[in-house]
Amino acid sequence: MTLDGIGMTSQRARARMLERLREQGIQDPMVLAAMSEVPRHPFLEESIQHQAYDDTPLPIGQGQTISSPYIVARSCELACRGNRLDRVLEVGGGCGYQAAVLSRLAKEVLSLERIAKLIGKARQTLRQLRINNVVMKNVDGSLGYPAAAPFDAIVVAAAMPYIPDALKQQLKPGCRLVAPVGSGDIQRLIVVEALPEGGFTEKELEAVKFVPLLSGVR
């Protein structure tokens, strides 16, 4: 694994990525700082590290992908709303990149991933980057993690057919859940907010494309 900046993995490439994120409408300075601080290339196989800062999802093995930088930044910006958070739940941890970005925005990140091989690689990368406030668990995250609830934000990184009430109930009042909802080529990014007086609001945003959220552990 290459942690040093060479070629497309250099700080210059990250600066170009940040400029593109600003052009795409990402404004939160904390999110932009986190995207700048966390390198994307160590989370990828060396053969595709030269593509790390392109605005595209990339394969990470086991039929899964790392989300594009824009989608990671957009999800984090929607979840945080300019606030530094205490505890965040991520569903669909994958290679650990989004959890690493969230680690700069929250005191603690709990990341759930159903595929054990991905968790092993992700933990190794997080250790090498000295990111110590992310806990990754090899569990079925489709219904969240009630034992550690409530959370200041929930970010789902795989497409759900709908957002289950059991997951919404794990939000603190006034906090947000961000998830892709739909199947195949028909998916939208959805933001759910837990109202202080009880109940939830739900807002549909842009079209997205994620791998499906599956149940079970392997």
CATH, residue 77:
3.40.50.150
Q: Please, are residues 153 and 177 in contact by the beta-carbon 8 Å criterion?
A: yes
Task: Quote the number of domains for the chain.
Answer: 1
Question: Measured between alpha carbons, how far is residue 103 from residues 38, 99, 203 in Å?
Answer: 9, 6, 25
- Annotated active-site residue in 10, 47, 67, 103: 67
Q: Is residue 157 part of a domain?
A: yes
SS3 state at 4: coil
User: Is residue 37 domain-resident?
Assistant: yes
pLDDT tens sequence for the chain (218 residues): 445 544 455 788 999 999 999 999 999 999 999 999 999 999 999 999 999 999 999 999 988 999 999 999 999 999 999 999 999 999 999 999 999 999 999 999 999 999 999 999 999 999 999 999 999 999 999 899 999 999 999 999 999 999 999 999 999 999 999 999 998 889 999 999 999 988 999 999 999 999 888 888 88
Structure tokens at 188: 């939208």
Establish if 132 belongs to a structural domain. yes
Is residue 67 among the annotated active site residues? yes
User: Does any domain span residue 2?
Assistant: no
Strand ranges of the sheet holding 106-112, from the earlier edge strand across to the other edge: 134-137, 106-112, 85-91, 151-156, 171-183, 186-194, 200-207
Domain of residue 144: give its range.
7-207
DSSP state of 56: S
- The answer to the question of residue 94 being in a domain is yes
Euclidean distance between CA atoms 43 and 208, whole angstroms: 22
Beta strands in 95-215 (DSSP E): 106-112, 134-137, 151-156, 171-183, 186-194, 200-207
- Which DSSP state fits 68? P
Residue 1 covered by a domain: no
